[in-house]
Structure 1
Amino acid sequence: MWSKKVGSEERVVDPVTGYAYPDEWVARCEDAAALTLAASGLGVLTADGRVLRRGFTTGTTAAAAAKAAVLSLGRPVDGVAVTLPCGLRVAVPARGEGGRGEARKDSGDYPSDVTAGLLFVATAEPAPAGVEVVAGEGIGRFVRDTPRYRAGDAAVSQTAMASIERAADEARKEVGRAGVRVVLAIPEGAAVAQKTLNPRVGVEGGVSVLGSTGLVEPWDDHLSEAAFERIRGAERVVLTTGRTGLRYSRLLFPSHEAVLVGVNLGRALDEVRGKAVICGLPGLVLKFIDPDVLRGTGCATVEDLTATPAWPGVLERAFARCREDHPGVRVVVVDRAGTVLGDSG
């Protein structure tokens, strides 16, 4: 099935974002299999009728390796099913034998992902009860305290860890074990991390294990054009930079068309030609308003800055600058729990 009823019409809907694709986009796609992929959430339909494949995050890849490792305590494994943080249940290629599981990161049609193809390895052993997940070689660790992590903590987001633990627990129950201990490793993680932002944000020794939806978006020129077409056709629009921002944008502004534009905020505002709302986490939003927002603060990231006494003044100055540079644009900054940190009005 490609479609679901939206109002009185049958439409192709992206189950990840809830966006109902315009009929003309669907008509331009002549590949039935590609439309099925888009309807499943594992693909994204673009304005020109192409379907770009979503990939899997480091969190999803780690969950697949962990599940394969635990399942292989009972039998050899050549693939696993994982429930993503966005709610989709997907099949992920993975291998497991004798308590060792492996999965390689599939980045879909995202051409700039430096972690594409990276091998994740998990080893599992019986434990007295429950599930214990240990971050091992190649997974980065924080070298300083941040608002969410302490120095020495593994760079594994809460969402990713929950996904890994759920996958391992499903496998534990399937093989009839009271408990399991899983050690995750990314053998080439330390080398690949040098190509990421981790060294600049205080994470050393490996890559981060992340993923708010479990999927990697295939951002390229075609997908950007699709977003801009949505913006041009919207009566009221809220622009956001990431999946967390998209979620809270929909909750805070239910009557607006919420569009994820990533780093393309500048062009998105050019397309609006009038009033708009920018809503999202403070990082990209404030760096867009003021690229030098961290200068002289002693902070490596905007998230670090939010925990300092200087934050209220920095935020108000950023709002004032945005009012001057972009009249008619309202900025709402939220944290990862959805709390509004500031509203330019």
Structure 2
Amino acid sequence: MTQPPSPLRRGWTTGSCATAAAKAAWLVLQGHEPPASVWITLPSGKEVAFSLCQFSGTPDAPCAAVIKDAGDDPDITHGAMIRCTVRALAAGSGIVFRAGPGVGTITRPGLPLPPGEPAINPTPRAMIRTALTQANNAIPPDAEVTISIDNGQELAQHTLNGRLGIVEGLSILGTTGIVMPFSCSAWIESIHRGVDVARAEKLPHILAATGNVSEKAGQALYGLPDMALIEMGDFAGGLLKYLRHHPVPRLSIAGGIAKMTKLGQGCLDLHSSRSQADMPALADLAAQHGAPHGLPEQIKTSPTVAEAFLLAASHTYPLGSLIAHKAWEVAQHTLSPAPTQLDVLVFDRAGRLVGKADGPFAL
């Protein structure tokens, strides 16, 4: 007998780690011995403890560090050293946030904070304010809080920060303080922020792609800047539903044959574990749109959309265009009533355009 899989272990956001480091540094600044651990309050009100791994700095500007544990999530910042230096400011200054080495700075509008601010998101800022107030006998202190991440600038190259206009490092993130393994919500949140930046920059055209091949091919086709690219992945619904209420002038959706087939069949979550292409339905669709005799039956019994596409190509039947038009219909319905001009691009694995639609069926 096989054992059931163990539940995936949750982790902590960079915001939670920075909050713990800030509280520890503040306690040292107030004359306490460096603590082995501190308790912080999550946005939910739950209290959790963090171990401190290192102290440095000076008596007037102590620095505390926490190693981030992302649990079982494949987080680029898992194991990163999150450092926080705190120093006192003049009365009435409040809490001022600074970006140290490895933490980015915002350069474009559209994010939750204005250009010029350190990329320390609103929820982590609120958590740090709460932690320092708790450590200061319930009195909000006047303090400068500088957060840094070891090797953060290098790690940021593996994130979407560059596209969002966040330069020279990572963001201090988190809305709950907890990292949910393989978090769909985090990916969808990054899609929404990409749309926000594009809207703030008044970009006339954005491209959302399911993967790297379709993204590069779509970008080359239209000559779009990196800022106009949205890494949609499998979350077509997360993109389209957001754009319904936050429209852009023009949207191109680019993807491979199988994922665009699933979109055309009404699937808004394109992940292989959550949706499958319906081959009999694809065969019926081809039969309704002039497929040569015998091809629909071949498509119906094909194990994959890729094989069905090769069969269609051998009959010179434009299955890619059929897939693109069905995907356009579903995407357009989901977008409605947003005044967004929509087109759908279907690419094969080599990045060749094999289907395009910018309106209803016209095969």
TM range (shorter): 0.5 to 0.7
Q: CA deviation at 1:86?
A: 4.0
SS state of the match for residue 251, structure 2? helix
Q: CA deviation at 1:286?
A: 5.2
Which residue does the alignment assign to 1:61? Answer: 17
What do the CA deviations read for 1:55-95 (whole angstroms, capped 9, x no partner)?
Answer: 11111111111111111123121111112234432111125
Which residue does the alignment assign to 1:89? Answer: 47
Does 2:151 correspond to 1:188?
yes
In 1: Cα distance, 2:170 partner to 2:38 partner: 23
Residues 330, 344 of structure 1: 8 Å contact kept? no
SS state of the match for residue 106, structure 1? coil
TM-score, normalised to structure 1's length? 0.54
In 2: Cα distance, 1:143 partner to 1:313 partner: 24
In 2: Cα distance, 1:315 partner to 1:86 partner: 38
Which residue of 39, 64, 70 maps to 2:26? Answer: 70
Residue type matched to 1:207 in 2?
A: L
Alignment of 1:231-270 (within 5 A): 241-242=184-185
Residues 172 and 196 of structure 1: is their aligned pair in 2 closer, same or farther, counting only changes over 3 Å?
A: same
Q: CA deviation at 1:117?
A: 1.7
Which residue of 101, 105, 120 maps to 2:82? Answer: 120
- Structure with higher Rg: it is 2
TM-score, normalised to structure 2's length? 0.51
Residues 133, 165 of structure 1: 8 Å contact kept? no
RMSD of the TM alignment (CA)?
A: 4.2
Percentage of identical aligned residues: 30
**More displaced stretch, 120-129 vs 57-66:** 120-129
Residues 116 and 123 of structure 1: is their aligned pair in 2 closer, same or farther, counting only changes over 3 Å?
A: same
SS state of the match for residue 116, structure 2? coil
Residues 97, 118 of structure 2: 8 Å contact kept? no
**More displaced stretch, 164-173 vs 65-74:** 164-173
Q: CA deviation at 1:146?
A: 3.4
Residues 83, 89 of structure 1: 8 Å contact kept? yes
Residues 97, 146 of structure 2: 8 Å contact kept? yes
In 1: Cα distance, 2:171 partner to 2:117 partner: 11
SS state of the match for residue 53, structure 1? coil
SS state of the match for residue 242, structure 1? helix
Residue type matched to 2:251 in 1?
A: V
Alignment of 1:263-302 (within 5 A): 281=192, 287-288=209-210, 292=215, 296-298=223-225, 299-302=227-230
Residues 122 and 322 of structure 1: is their aligned pair in 2 closer, same or farther, counting only changes over 3 Å?
A: same
Q: For structure 2, list consecutive stretches of 5 or more residues without a partner in the other structure.
A: 196-206, 232-241, 270-333, 338-363
In 1: Cα distance, 2:229 partner to 2:113 partner: 13
SS state of the match for residue 120, structure 1? strand
Instruction: Name the count of aligned residue pairs.
Output: 231
Residues 142 and 328 of structure 1: is their aligned pair in 2 closer, same or farther, counting only changes over 3 Å?
A: same
Residues 324 and 91 of structure 1: is their aligned pair in 2 closer, same or farther, counting only changes over 3 Å?
A: closer
Q: For structure 1, list consecutive stretches of 5 or more residues without a partner in the other structure.
A: 1-27, 30-47, 220-239, 247-261, 263-279, 332-341
Which residue does the alignment assign to 2:248? Answer: 311
Q: CA deviation at 1:289?
A: 11
In 2: Cα distance, 1:65 partner to 1:120 partner: 7
Residues 327 and 62 of structure 1: is their aligned pair in 2 closer, same or farther, counting only changes over 3 Å?
A: same
Q: CA deviation at 1:173?
A: 2.6
